[in-house]
């Protein structure tokens, strides 16, 4: 195996095999082929999480699927992170994309493709994930592979920055036979009208994964004590799996508001903190806020995390002490994925309200996870979140993600109304069961594969 591509073997997480019985037609069509999924990080973020569970389900259902992770120089990921933000419609302080960016992008993806081609066989299928891998498509198609590209991000906005980014990606976009989006409105203008090429596939979660499986309130409390967030008997035993910035522990019975996200400007952890400090904390002196995310150094393709976390810590330090004592910044190591999953599960189970105050969002897996856990959710009405939650049904949506007062009001209203929390949580769980679980996504993948072979 080369330096730029490594294979990830998803380990069993102890759950029983949940293979899906495949229609004979699909099993037959895919019998002799390997399905390769390629992305650029083995952990952290929604795509890696999804792939791990999905690859396992493929194999447990009798298909042969493999997962390759592409690595690259920091310069390559600096370009791809810009592509990511731009496709979400964010302004790009680094300016336009030009020949220098294209050089970096193409030289890396060309070398990655060469390594991938040493592993795959004619007749195999490749699904490339996100802009980091799209540049491989022309090389893989030229070598005779059936290729789809799945884009997990996007916006329906057609601003200049979004258009320019699609223009930059256009030469690579022509190659895949299918381009998969979370919503049809995220497809680039260049693909408009190409009905056969554009496929809509919604992300999902695995209910039997360690992060989502049932956990009692006591077990959640024990886990949060173990990482050093909550009080309990004895010393925290899993303290090395989390770094926590806090003045005091989270009381066992305090109402808790939670956001779990990568440390990314578009997740707006700082906005959550300010919204809480300015609009929730003054009205309720019992509520605590927990902001939790992965250890930034553990995510190679996300170079901004460390800086965002440092900035957030600065905002936290500047808070008045009585408010600061009720805000907890939790960084969870990804080096032990099982411990990470347990901590995320415990935090989400323990939360009274889960927020996702993203400024942009393709589709929030943290939202789906909270839905599965029957939590009352307050989220921004942006991107894919509006496909997950209907305001006033499965949760509360804040129309303007910059409106901190409205965000605070939604939280206060839910904190004061246990019946409403219950109603939202029940509706969210029901919708998640029907629409956002991995079995449905797997069958959608099977249709994608058979479509590729046609
Ligand atoms: N996540 C995690 N550990 C962490 C922080 C986040 O496993 O310390 C997971 C989270 O539970 C979710 C995913 O990372 O499954 C984030 O996916 P989402 O779609 O919400 O956002 P993305 O990071 O893909 O933009």
* Integer Cα distance of 94 and 80 in angstroms: 12
- The average pLDDT across 367-385 equals 97
Task: Give the model's pLDDT for residue 319.
Answer: 98
Give the pLDDT confidence of 2-38 residue by residue, as tens digits.
Answer: 678 899 887 766 556 678 888 888 889 999 899 999 9
Task: Give the model's pLDDT for residue 391.
Answer: 98
For residue 147, report the distance from its CA to the centre of ligand 1, in Å.
26
Task: Give the model's pLDDT for residue 291.
Answer: 98
How would you list the strands of the sheet with 327-332, edge to edge? 242-245, 327-332, 288-294, 256-260, 353-356, 376-380, 396-398
| Residues at CB less than 6 angstroms from ligand 1 | 45-47, 49, 211, 260, 262, 293-294, 332, 340, 344, 364-366, 369
| Inter-residue contact 292 to 258 (CB < 8 Å) | yes
**Helices 438-453 and 46-60 meet at what angle, rounded to 10?**
80
* Integer Cα distance of 408 and 273 in angstroms: 10
Main-chain phi, psi angles of 104, to 5 degrees: -60, -45
**Residue 402 in 3-state DSSP?**
coil
Nearest-CA residue for atom 2 of ligand 1: 44
| Inter-residue contact 365 to 46 (CB < 8 Å) | yes
- The average pLDDT across 326-338 equals 95
* Integer Cα distance of 293 and 244 in angstroms: 11
Give the pLDDT confidence of 123-133 residue by residue, as tens digits.
Answer: 999 999 999 99
CA distances from 78 to 73, 299, 301, 304, 367 (A): 9, 13, 8, 9, 27
Nearest-CA residue for atom 24 of ligand 1: 46
Task: Give the model's pLDDT for residue 298.
Answer: 84
Task: Give the model's pLDDT for residue 157.
Answer: 85
Q: Which H/E stretch holds residue 396?
A: strand 396-398
* Integer Cα distance of 358 and 412 in angstroms: 19
**Encoded tokens for 136:** 């491989």
Residue 196: how many CA atoms within 13 Å on its side-chain side? 7
* Integer Cα distance of 151 and 113 in angstroms: 18
Task: Give the model's pLDDT for residue 39.
Answer: 97
Give the pLDDT confidence of 157-168 residue by residue, as tens digits.
Answer: 889 999 999 999
Main-chain phi, psi angles of 193, to 5 degrees: 85, -15
Is residue 234 scored above 60 in pLDDT?
Answer: yes
Give the pLDDT confidence of 88-113 residue by residue, as tens digits.
Answer: 999 999 999 999 999 999 999 999 99
CA distances from 158 to 166, 187, 399, 400 (A): 10, 11, 19, 18
**Encoded tokens for 108:** 């890396």
Torsion of CA 356, 262, 331, 245, to 10 degrees: -60
For residue 265, report the distance from its CA to the centre of ligand 1, in Å.
14
CB atoms within 10 A of CB 273: 22
In terms of C-beta density within 10 A (0-12 exposed, 13-18 middle, 19 or more buried), how is residue 178 classed?
A: buried
For residue 388, report the distance from its CA to the centre of ligand 1, in Å.
16
Nearest-CA residue for atom 21 of ligand 1: 46
For residue 286, report the distance from its CA to the centre of ligand 1, in Å.
28
41, 80, 265, 365: residue to mutate for ligand 1 pocket, most atoms within 8 A of CB: 365
Residue 44 CA, closest ligand 1 atom number: 14
For residue 27, report the distance from its CA to the centre of ligand 1, in Å.
32
Residue 47 CA, closest ligand 1 atom number: 24
Task: Give the model's pLDDT for residue 16.
Answer: 60
Is residue 311 scored above 80 in pLDDT?
Answer: yes
For residue 29, report the distance from its CA to the centre of ligand 1, in Å.
34
Give 323's pLDDT tier (boundaries 50, 70, 90).
very high
- The average pLDDT across 420-447 equals 96
Task: Give the model's pLDDT for residue 21.
Answer: 87
Non-local CB neighbours of 393 within 8 Å, separated by 6+ positions: 424, 427
* Integer Cα distance of 90 and 161 in angstroms: 7
Residues shown for the chain: 454
* Integer Cα distance of 154 and 174 in angstroms: 18
pTM of the model: 0.88
* Integer Cα distance of 176 and 79 in angstroms: 21
Residue 344: how many CA atoms within 13 Å on its side-chain side? 29
For residue 180, report the distance from its CA to the centre of ligand 1, in Å.
20
43, 44, 87: residue to mutate for ligand 1 pocket, most atoms within 8 A of CB: 44
For residue 11, report the distance from its CA to the centre of ligand 1, in Å.
19
């Amino acid at each position: 195996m080369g330096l730029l591509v490594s294979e990830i073997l998803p380990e069993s997480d102890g759950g029983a095999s949940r293979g899906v019985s495949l229609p004979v037609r699909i099993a037959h069509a895919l019998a002799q082929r390997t399905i390769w999924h390629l992305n650029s990080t083995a952990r952290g973020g929604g795509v890696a999480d999804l792939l791990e569970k999905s690859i396992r389900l493929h194999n447990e259902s009798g298909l042969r699927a493999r997962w390759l992770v592409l690595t690259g120089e920091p310069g390559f990921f600096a370009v791809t992170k810009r592509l990511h933000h731009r496709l979400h419609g964010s302004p790009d302080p680094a300016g336009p994309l030009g020949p220098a960016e294209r050089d970096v992008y193409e030289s890396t993806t060309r070398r990655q493709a060469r390594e991938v081609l040493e592993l795959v066989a004619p007749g195999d299928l490749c699904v490339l994930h996100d802009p980091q891998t799209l540049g491989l498509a022309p090389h893989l198609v030229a070598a005779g592979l059936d290729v789809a590209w799945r884009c997990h991000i996007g916006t329906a906005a057609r601003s200049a920055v979004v258009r320019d980014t699609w223009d930059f990606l256009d030469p690579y976009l022509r190659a895949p036979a299918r381009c998969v989006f979370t919503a049809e409105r995220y497809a680039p203008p260049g693909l408009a009208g190409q009905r056969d090429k554009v496929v809509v596939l919604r992300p999902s979660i695995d209910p039997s994964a360690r992060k989502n499986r049932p956990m009692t309130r006591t077990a959640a409390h024990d886990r949060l004590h173990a990482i050093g967030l909550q009080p309990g008997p004895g010393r925290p035993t899993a303290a090395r799996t989390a770094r926590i910035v806090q003045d005091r522990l989270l009381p066992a019975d305090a109402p808790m508001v939670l956001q779990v996200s990568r440390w990314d400007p578009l997740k707006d952890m700082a906005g959550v903190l300010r919204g809480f400090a300015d609009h929730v904390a003054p009205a309720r002196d019992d509520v605590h806020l927990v902001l939790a995310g992965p250890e930034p150094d553990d995510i190679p393709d996300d170079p901004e995390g460390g800086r965002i976390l440092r900035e957030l810590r600065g905002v936290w330090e500047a808070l008045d002490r009585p408010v600061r004592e009720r805000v907890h910044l939790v960084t969870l190591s990804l080096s032990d994925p099982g411990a990470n999953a347990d901590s995320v599960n415990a935090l989400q189970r323990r939360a009274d309200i889960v927020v996702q105050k993203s400024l942009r969002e393709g589709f929030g897996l943290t939202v789906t996870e909270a839905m599965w856990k029957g939590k009352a959710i307050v989220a921004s009405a942006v991107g894919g979140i509006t496909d997950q939650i209907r305001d006033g049904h499965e949760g509360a949506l804040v129309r303007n993600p910059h409106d901190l007062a409205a965000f605070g009001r939604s939280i206060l209203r839910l904190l004061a109304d246990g019946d409403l929390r219950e109603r939202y949580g029940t509706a969210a769980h029901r919708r998640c069961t029907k629409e956002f679980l991995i079995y449905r996504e797997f069958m959608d993948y099977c249709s994608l594969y058979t479509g590729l072979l046609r």
